[in-house]
């Protein structure tokens, strides 16, 4: 019985499952579990956000707790809690015979994560938050919200409908079961996200790298792992061996290549997976806060050489020069649709900086109207949420996006306030509107306007009622655009406010 | 256990590669065909078959007793639910459950009216009572805020999200504005259709009534129904042929309809009326808020096509 390995596996499965559940449940207001703590416990995101925006982001204290814990417990987060790490272990286990790398290669591959961390740190100092692309919690959360859950729901839905239509004798019980599932698991809306494939591809490349070398992402690139590695170099809870017989079995099988050629633990690399306890033939390996037998301590050689430090410093300085906030292509080209941001979003520049693109808001939006930006809006806006009224409008009685945002990029507004926040303004295109062009009296926009004092009013012109927008009332929720029957371009469209750009 | 490694290291001969590719392609194509078959199957339908049961009078109105009692009295005045619902029937109760608004805001049917009707159906021997609507706001929020889902479930009804995959194509057998429109199958297949709208203001048509409430059994892009709306609603009434129409005028939204939201726009009328002729029921409801029935385009259109009568003066009205 590999007791501790099983305890560790249970912890990984439990916390990853809970994370998925929290993300899935985030659509319902006032649910007992929120996905936010996973992001708050992430020092990489929290520090980068705090430093780049020069504020104390809510959640910073929580993440400091995790850093402090790693001083005592080592990289327990990577081995026991991280969803990306759990996936890395799962993928790694598909490969039976582990690839052996030379000690030099292993050593070389430990470095990029520190360099990446330094780059991200310097960028944060310069005022740019770029961790959204590299943070493992964000990558995992984004994949779950934008790919895993929607695809699962679509698949389940399709399967049920197929069975109902093709197995007539089971029609009634299956329909009952389907309605049960629809009410509980699937919800009223099945999500689809534009731009979901690049998000999946990016995640898949990182995940499948584990097939080549186990936990390749964690050892080589993960900047969050780098933070924990830095703080856990002298961790109290550590792997200890009494009376080693130098069989090198632990070194051969270590998934993090954390056991050096001298059979000592490489500082900051051990993730406490507990495998080596059970591989040690004489059961001489154990994890504890204090060694059983007082061993002579030698200064461990590790860390960075002077040359490494120079590279580490110069690379980010060089890269920072590339970082320039470019005006988005769609705005430059004078395209009609500028991005509409969710209600309560910070001013555009701050919003882009504060958003970590975790996808929580888009998964929580009940109409599926919040969609990830594509590359057209520029790198600085990639995968940032924007409201597409043609897909779904902003529900009048809903403030879920703000309540699930872990970073405060979308402020958690109380409902009464959110109902007054203006995200854009509707504008009627009189050359397309069925009423204004005398094709028919439709007035669907006026009908749907959710404001108690309707922002779309009717005027009687030339013997017919025609809609006009009352700009003093309109909050830009986009429901009018969503339901407008004009094809292919809607006759009423919502534009972002010029002050927000 | 699945051995990934041995899989990637196996050499694949040309023949086996071609075989695998052919099998994969066949699987893909067959799956594609199946999915098409599942989602594209829309059978045309000539409309719902109604039993055409009549009440003892044309309209029964009850006032001043609160939504639940009013509903019970009005249906009793019409001759009781037993005239419409037979033992073992599947009943569809179609409330106006379209907007994310509370009962006090009067944009949806009063939940007590719906639950009273559901209970009457079961008392009359119904096997199943279905309740759904295709809402204009997000569906699960609408179900919760309106209070209808909870009330109807408590009364024993099945409340569910509209099945947009399970539709029939409207085909009235003559050229009509409604041709080819997807209609939810559950609204066509039921034995008894009870339409339970709420009386309220509506910008385009003037008032939302029972015929307008039938829009909630349509799938597809419903904004397009508003084009030539009078004709389409008359077609829809002919297609569905509701057996019983119960109009909730407990609280009436007088302005800023059909969404409302402002309690000052709500006026308490405290009436419920029941009738078998949807056009007459609508026409009578107009008089409650001092509107001339023929000024509502779809009532005039339906009356002209003899789908029902808009002549309130000649109707047999029972006031309870």
Which residues are CB-contacts of A37 (< 8 A; sequence separation ≥ 6)? A62
pLDDT at site B145: 93
pLDDT at site A306: 66
pLDDT at site A334: 43
Residue length, chain B?
Answer: 320
One-character DSSP codes across A392-449: -PPPTT--HHHHH-SSSSB----HHHHTT----EEEE-TTT-TTTTTS----HHHHH-
Chain A stretch 434-453, residues whose beta carbon is closer than 8 A to a beta carbon of chain B:
434, 439-444, 446-453
The distance from CA A212 to its chain's CA centroid, rounded to whole angstroms, is 25
Pair of tokens at residue B135: 């809402």
| Chain A residues close to B260, C-beta within 8 Å | 452
What sign does the dihedral A33-A36-A37-A39 (CA atoms) show? positive
DSSP code of A437? T
Alpha-carbon distance A184 to nearest alpha carbon in chain B (angstroms): 10
pLDDT at site B178: 87
Average pLDDT over residues B174-200: 91
Q: Number of A to B CB contacts under 8 A, please give it.
A: 105
Beta-bridged to residue B249, according to DSSP, are B271
Lowest mean pLDDT, pick from A60-64, A233-237, B151-155: A233-237
Cα–Cα distance measured from residue A259 to residue A249, given in angstroms and rounded to the nearest whole number = 10
What sign does the dihedral B5-B7-B11-B17 (CA atoms) show? negative
Q: Left, alpha or beta for A59 (phi > 0: left; psi -120 to 50: alpha)?
A: left
Contact A454 B221 (CB under 8 A): no
| Chain A residues close to B265, C-beta within 8 Å | 452
Cβ burial of B80 (10 Å; 0-12, 13-18, 19+) is: middle
Cα–Cα distance measured from residue A212 to residue B305, given in angstroms and rounded to the nearest whole number = 74
Give CA separation, B54 vs A401, A494, B58, B78, B275, in Å. Answer: 51, 50, 8, 9, 9
β strands within B205-264, DSSP E:
206-208, 244-253
pLDDT in tens, A412-462: 999 999 999 999 999 999 999 999 998 888 889 999 999 999 999 999 988
Q: Which of A379, A384, A374 is nearest to A405 (CA)?
A: A384
Which residues are CB-contacts of A306 (< 8 A; sequence separation ≥ 6)? none
Chain A stretch 319-378, residues whose beta carbon is closer than 8 A to a beta carbon of chain B:
366-367
Residue length, chain A?
Answer: 501
Cα–Cα distance measured from residue B209 to residue B265, given in angstroms and rounded to the nearest whole number = 18
Which residues are CB-contacts of B40 (< 8 A; sequence separation ≥ 6)? none
Mean pLDDT estimate for chain A: 86
The distance from CA A197 to its chain's CA centroid, rounded to whole angstroms, is 15
What pTM was estimated for this model as a whole?
A: 0.86
Beta-bridged to residue B93, according to DSSP, are B131, B194
Pair of tokens at residue B9: 């290291």
Contact A452 B256 (CB under 8 A): yes
Alpha-carbon distance A247 to nearest alpha carbon in chain B (angstroms): 26
pLDDT at site A213: 85
Mean pLDDT estimate for chain B: 89
Residue of chain A whose Cα is closest to the Cα of B253: A452
Residue of chain B whose Cα is closest to the Cα of A449: B259
| Chain A residues close to B34, C-beta within 8 Å | 162
Alpha-carbon distance A399 to nearest alpha carbon in chain B (angstroms): 12
Q: Is the pLDDT of residue B1 over 70?
A: no
Closest by Cβ to B226, choosing from A188, A367, A442: A442
Q: Is the pLDDT of residue A142 over 50?
A: yes
Q: Is the pLDDT of residue A292 over 80?
A: no
Q: Is the pLDDT of residue A333 over 50?
A: no
Alpha-carbon distance A358 to nearest alpha carbon in chain B (angstroms): 23
For helices B297-304 and B229-240, the axis angle rounded to 10 degrees is 60
Q: Other CB atoms closer than 10 Å to residue A83's CB: what's the count?
A: 22
Cα–Cα distance measured from residue B91 to residue B85, given in angstroms and rounded to the nearest whole number = 8
Closest by Cβ to B223, choosing from A366, A444, A453: A444
One-character DSSP codes across A194-205: TTHHHHHHHHHH
Q: Is the pLDDT of residue A330 over 50?
A: no
Q: In this structure, are residues A289 and A237 in contact, taking their beta carbons and an 8 Å threshold?
A: yes
DSSP code of A146? I
| Chain B residues close to A452, C-beta within 8 Å | 256, 260-262, 265
| Chain A residues close to B208, C-beta within 8 Å | none
Lowest mean pLDDT, pick from A164-173, A189-198, B57-66: A164-173
pLDDT at site A206: 92
Alpha-carbon distance B162 to nearest alpha carbon in chain A (angstroms): 9
| Chain A residues close to B41, C-beta within 8 Å | 165
**How many helices and strands, by DSSP H and E, does chain B display?**
11, 13
β strands within B96-238, DSSP E:
128-131, 158-159, 167-170, 182-184, 192-196, 198-202, 206-208
Contact A452 B145 (CB under 8 A): no
The distance from CA A385 to its chain's CA centroid, rounded to whole angstroms, is 12
Q: Which band of pLDDT confidence, cut at 50, 70 and 90, is reported for residue A343?
A: very high
| Chain B residues close to A211, C-beta within 8 Å | 4
pLDDT in tens, A466-481: 999 999 999 999 999 9
Average pLDDT over residues B179-196: 92
Domains of chain A: 3-143+199-232 (no CATH), 331-418 (3.30.70), 425-499 (3.30.70.20)
Alpha-carbon distance A161 to nearest alpha carbon in chain B (angstroms): 7
Q: Is A293 on the interface with B (CB under 8 A)?
A: no
Which residues are CB-contacts of B47 (< 8 A; sequence separation ≥ 6)? B170, B172, B188, B238, B239, B240, B241
Task: Tell me: cis bond preceding B176? Omega within 30 of 0 counts.
Answer: no
Give CA separation, A440 vs A280, A486, B202, in Å. Answer: 82, 11, 17
The distance from CA B50 to its chain's CA centroid, rounded to whole angstroms, is 16
Contact A366 B138 (CB under 8 A): yes
Q: What angle do CA A353, A215, A274 make, to 5 degrees?
A: 115
| Chain B residues close to A183, C-beta within 8 Å | 160-161
DSSP code of B213? H
One-character DSSP codes across B141-174: HHHHHHSHHHHHHHTT-EE----TTSEEEE--SS
Closest by Cβ to B259, choosing from A182, A449, A465: A449
Cβ burial of A62 (10 Å; 0-12, 13-18, 19+) is: middle
Q: In this structure, are residues A362 and A355 in contact, taking their beta carbons and an 8 Å threshold?
A: no
ipTM above threshold 0.90 = no
**Residues of B at the A interface, defined by Cβ within 8 angstroms:** 2-5, 34-35, 38-39, 41, 100, 136-141, 143, 145, 158, 160-161, 165, 202-204, 221-224, 226-228, 256, 258-262, 265
DSSP code of B271? E
Contact B136 A189 (CB under 8 A): no
Task: Tell me: cis bond preceding B258? Omega within 30 of 0 counts.
Answer: yes
pLDDT at site A218: 92
Q: By three-state DSSP, how is residue A207 classified?
A: helix
């Amino acid at each position: 019985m590999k007791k501790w390995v099983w305890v560790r596996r249970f912890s990984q499965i439990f916390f990853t499952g809970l994370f998925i559940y929290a993300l899935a449940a985030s659509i319902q207001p006032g649910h007992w579990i929120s996905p936010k703590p996973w992001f708050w416990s992430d020092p990489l995101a929290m520090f980068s956000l705090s430093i780049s925006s020069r504020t104390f982001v809510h959640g910073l204290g929580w993440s400091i707790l995790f850093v402090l814990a790693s001083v005592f417990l080592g990289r327990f987060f990577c081995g026991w809690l991280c969803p990306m790490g759990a996936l890395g272990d799962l993928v790694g286990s598909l490969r039976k015979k582990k690839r052996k790398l030379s000690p030099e290669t292993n050593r070389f591959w430990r470095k990029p994560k520190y360099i990446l961390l330094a780059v991200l740190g310097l960028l944060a100092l310069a005022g740019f938050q770029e961790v959204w692309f590299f943070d493992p919690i964000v990558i995992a959360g984004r994949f779950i919200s934008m790919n895993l859950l929607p695809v699962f729901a679509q698949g389940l839905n399709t399967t049920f409908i197929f069975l109902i239509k093709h197995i007539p004798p089971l029609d009634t019980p299956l329909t009952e079961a389907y309605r049960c599932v629809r009410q509980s698991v699937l919800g009223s809306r099945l999500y689809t996200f534009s731009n979901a494939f690049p998000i999946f591809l990016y995640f898949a490349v990182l995940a499948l790298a584990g097939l080549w070398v186990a936990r390749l992402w964690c050892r080589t690139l993960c900047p969050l792992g780098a933070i924990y590695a830095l703080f856990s170099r002298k961790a109290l809870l550590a792997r200890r061996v009494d009376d080693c017989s130098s069989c090198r079995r632990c070194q051969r099988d270590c998934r993090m290549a954390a056991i050096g050629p001298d059979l000592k633990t490489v500082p900051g690399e051990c993730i406490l997976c507990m495998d080596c306890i059970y591989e040690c033939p004489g059961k001489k390996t154990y994890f504890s806060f204090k060694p059983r037998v007082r061993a002579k301590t030698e200064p461990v050689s590790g860390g960075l050489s002077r040359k490494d430090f120079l590279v580490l410093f110069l690379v980010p300085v060089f890269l920072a020069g590339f970082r320039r906030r470019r005006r988005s292509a769609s705005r430059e080209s004078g395209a009609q649709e500028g991005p509409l941001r969710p209600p309560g979003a910070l001013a555009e520049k701050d919003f882009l900086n504060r958003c970590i693109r975790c996808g929580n808001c888009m998964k929580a939006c009940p109409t599926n109207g919040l969609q990830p930006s594509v590359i057209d809006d520029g790198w600085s806006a990639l995968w940032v949420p924007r409201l597409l009224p043609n897909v779904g409008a902003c529900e009048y009685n809903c403030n879920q996006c703000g309540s699930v945002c872990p970073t405060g990029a979308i402020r958690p507004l109380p409902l009464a306030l959110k109902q007054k926040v203006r995200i854009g303004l509707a504008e009627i295109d009189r050359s397309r509107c069925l009423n204004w062009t005398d094709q028919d009296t439709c007035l669907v926009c006026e009908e749907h306007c959710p404001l108690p004092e309707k922002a779309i009013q009717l005027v009687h012109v030339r013997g017919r009622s025609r809609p006009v927008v009352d700009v003093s009332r309109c909050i830009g929720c986009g429901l009018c655009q969503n339901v407008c029957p004009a094809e292919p371009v809607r006759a009423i469209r919502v534009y972002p406010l010029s002050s927000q750009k | 256990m699945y051995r990934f490694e041995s899989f990637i290291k196996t050499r694949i001969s040309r023949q086996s590669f071609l075989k695998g590719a052919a099998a994969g392609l066949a699987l893909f194509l067959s799956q594609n065909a199946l999915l098409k078959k599942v989602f594209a199957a829309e059978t045309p339908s000539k409309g719902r078959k109604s039993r055409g049961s009549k009440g003892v009078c044309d309209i029964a109105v009850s006032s001043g007793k609160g939504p639940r009692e009013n509903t019970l009295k009005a249906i009793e005045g019409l001759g009781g639910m037993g005239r419409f619902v037979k033992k073992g029937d599947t009943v569809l109760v179609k409330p106006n459950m379209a907007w994310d608004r509370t009962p006090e805001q009067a944009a949806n049917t009063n939940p007590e009216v719906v639950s009273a009707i559901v209970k009457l159906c079961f008392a009359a021997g119904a096997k199943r009572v279905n309740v759904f609507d295709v809402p204009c706001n997000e569906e699960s929020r609408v179900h919760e805020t309106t209070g209808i889902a909870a009330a109807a479930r408590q009364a024993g009804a099945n409340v569910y999200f509209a099945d947009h995959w399970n539709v029939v194509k409207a085909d009235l057998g003559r050229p009509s504005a409604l041709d080819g429109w997807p209609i939810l199958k559950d609204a066509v297949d039921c034995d008894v259709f009870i339409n339970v709208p709420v009386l309220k203001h509506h910008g385009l048509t003037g008032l939302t009534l029972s015929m307008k409430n039938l829009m909630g059994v349509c799938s597809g892009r419903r904004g397009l129904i508003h084009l030539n709306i009078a004709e389409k609603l008359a077609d829809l009434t002919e297609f569905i042929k509701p057996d019983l129409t119960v109009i909730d005028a407990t609280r009436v939204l007088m302005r800023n309809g059909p969404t409302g939201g402002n309690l000052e726009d709500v006026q308490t009328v405290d009436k419920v009326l029941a009738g078998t002729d949807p056009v007459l029921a609508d026409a009578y409801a107009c008089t409650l808020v001092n509107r001339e029935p023929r000024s509502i385009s779809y009532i005039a259109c339906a009356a002209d096509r003899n789908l029902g009568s808009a002549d309130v003066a000649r109707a047999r009205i029972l006031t309870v």
